[in-house]
Structure 1
Amino acid sequence: MESQLSFKVLILGPKRVGKSSLVRKFVFDDDNGPPTLRAKLKIWDTSGQERFEAVCRAYYHSTEAAILCFDPTNEVSWKEMQSILNKFNVINPDSKIYLCGTKFDILEDELKEPCVDPELVQEFANSLNCGAKVFMETSSKLGTHIDELFRTLTEDCLSDLAETSPEVLNTAISVESQKRRSWCCRQFRLY
């Protein structure tokens, strides 16, 4: 059973927090079983540099979900990420928001404490009211929680679609991913 379900997902955050590494790890590092229903994630990896801010804001429209990345070893990235979120919410206040702490392997490898208080991050995530699991600690180097992040996001988008258009989704949602060779997209396999 083929489906044309697709969701636009933005990867947002300041420069050098690991946004592109997160996308690369997700797109190229997984292979799972055959599909019966598909949902395509249109992932837009945005620049975190200020000189491209106006261009990035043009991408904010018609976005179902956004993953906001920050580096827990860099307090400045946390503050910049909040500023990016505020700008995003002005244009697209109804999108689902997922906080993504990147580079958690650095904290474990070097036995460092995060510069950003984990309780503060969780409080902020809870204040977003975007679902049960809106904050994930990831590592692109180790692949930690990356598939879980995208699975959760996809399931949430599908659940919203099921509520508004139940005829579109009348099967149990179980997400699997398929390894893709192209950089442009990766499809989730649902059954």
Structure 2
Amino acid sequence: MILSIIMLGDSTVGKSSLLKRYTEDAFLENINQTVGVDFYVHFLEVEPGVRIKLQFWDTAGQERFRSVTRSYYRNSVGGLLVFDVTNRASFDHVKDWHDEVCERVVPHRVMFTLLGHKSDCDADDHSERVISREEAEKLASRMGMPYVEASAKTGNNVQEAFDVLAKTTIIKIFFFPLKETDSSYTY
């Protein structure tokens, strides 16, 4: 089974850094901004002997690339909505990213997880947290999705964030399969 997962969020929230940490267990202080869409693959063992291929589409957060990135929404079954806990605007735009995907896919087809990135900021002298865990949890609850905080820099909760998304997506696929009218979409 192959699951296509789209990474969504404003520019510089750390989508590429999260994917680099998850797929390669590496962190680069300076990573180039994504231009258009990047592609990552990771295999997840869901139970002994059963592996699922996860395809990640890392979308650019800049408005000028939106027409390119929108074409990747259609085949996605999972979405990681990423914001930076030190950037209010990135948090305020989460609902816009979510709505944009939902307008372009079969309703309730894509499972989402909200991820507050750069959770290590409390230990960082250069940035200050502006979004509390409670505020983010309330938004996730209103939007009907789990919330996870993670740091690509330290690796804290990165694996867990992707596991939560993969597992909720797998449950959706097996317990709430697509209807015949949705046959143009495949898992």
Per the TM alignment, residue 118 of structure 1 is displaced from its structure 2 partner at its CA by 2.8
Per the TM alignment, residue 59 of structure 1 is displaced from its structure 2 partner at its CA by 0.9
Q: Which residue identity lines up with residue 115 of structure 2 in the other structure?
A: C
Q: Choose which of 87, 92, 105 in structure 2 pairs with 1:74.
A: 87
CA distance in 2 between counterparts of 1:128 and 1:77 reads 16
CA distance in 1 between counterparts of 2:176 and 2:62 reads 37
> Share of identical aligned residues, percent?
30
CA distance in 1 between counterparts of 2:44 and 2:94 reads 32
TM-score by length of 1: 0.75
Question: CA 1:70 to 1:32, structure 2 compared with 1: closer, same or farther past 3 Å?
Answer: closer
**Number of residues paired by the alignment?**
158
Task: Report if aligned partners of 2:15, 2:82 keep a CA contact under 8 Å in 1.
Answer: yes
Q: Which residue identity lines up with residue 130 of structure 2 in the other structure?
A: C
Consecutive unaligned residues in structure 1, runs of 5 or more: 166-191
Task: Report if aligned partners of 2:44, 2:54 keep a CA contact under 8 Å in 1.
Answer: no
CA distance in 2 between counterparts of 1:113 and 1:106 reads 6
Per the TM alignment, residue 149 of structure 1 is displaced from its structure 2 partner at its CA by 1.1
Does residue 15 (structure 1) correspond to residue 11 (structure 2)? The answer is yes
Does residue 141 (structure 1) correspond to residue 153 (structure 2)? The answer is yes
Q: Report which stretch shifted further, 74-83 or 95-104.
A: 74-83
Map 1:66-145 onto structure 2 (within 5 A): 66-92=79-105, 93-94=107-108, 95-110=110-125, 114-130=129-145, 134-145=146-157
Consecutive unaligned residues in structure 2, runs of 5 or more: 27-42, 178-187
CA distance in 2 between counterparts of 1:102 and 1:53 reads 22
Task: Report if aligned partners of 2:15, 2:58 keep a CA contact under 8 Å in 1.
Answer: yes
Per the TM alignment, residue 112 of structure 1 is displaced from its structure 2 partner at its CA by 6.3
Q: Alignment RMSD, CA only?
A: 2.4
CA distance in 2 between counterparts of 1:123 and 1:14 reads 20
Task: Please give the per-residue CA displacement for 1:77-124, whole angstroms capped at 9, x wherever unaligned.
Answer: 112232222211211332111111111112233396521243221111
Q: Choose which of 165, 176, 182 in structure 2 pairs with 1:153.
A: 165
Q: Residue 157 of structure 1 aligns to a residue in which SS?
A: helix
